[in-house]
Amino acid sequence: MGCCYDFGYGVKEDENKAFELYLKSAEGGYKEAFKDVGDCYYDGRGISKDENEAIEWYLKGAEKGDIYCQYLVANYYNDGNMSQKMKKSGFIGN
């Protein structure tokens, strides 16, 4: 449902509602929603822009096995943007 509000599929676009639904889905364990929540934080759609929070959601999704989140985390790491928090999480080797 989040994507319907995010992109206006059959309903009026509403970024706030989209974020709310993505978040609810992620909190319910739907692994694909972790990327959507991260994207909202990264782009500032429906929530204040926060790259660090985006990466946290991508990490959570990657840990759940979402391939897109794994790809985004790998690229972030490859670009030399790995934070101390990511190193300490143990998700990516030191």
Structural domain for 64, as ranges: 2-89
Helix axes 67-78, 51-64, angle to 10 degrees: 130
Report the pLDDT averaged over residues 48-62.
94
Model confidence at 76, pLDDT cuts 50, 70, 90, reads confident
CATH of the domain at 76: 1.25.40.10
Query: Which is higher by pLDDT, 75 or 84?
Result: 75
Domain membership of residue 21 (yes or no) is yes
Phi/psi of residue 26, each to 5°? Answer: -65, -45
Q: Is the pLDDT of residue 49 over 90?
A: yes
- Looking at the whole model, is its pTM more than 0.75? yes
At 13, which amino acid appears? Answer: E
Domain membership of residue 38 (yes or no) is yes
In the chain, pLDDT over 90 holds for what percent of residues? 71
Helix (H, G, I), strand (E, B) or coil at 57: helix
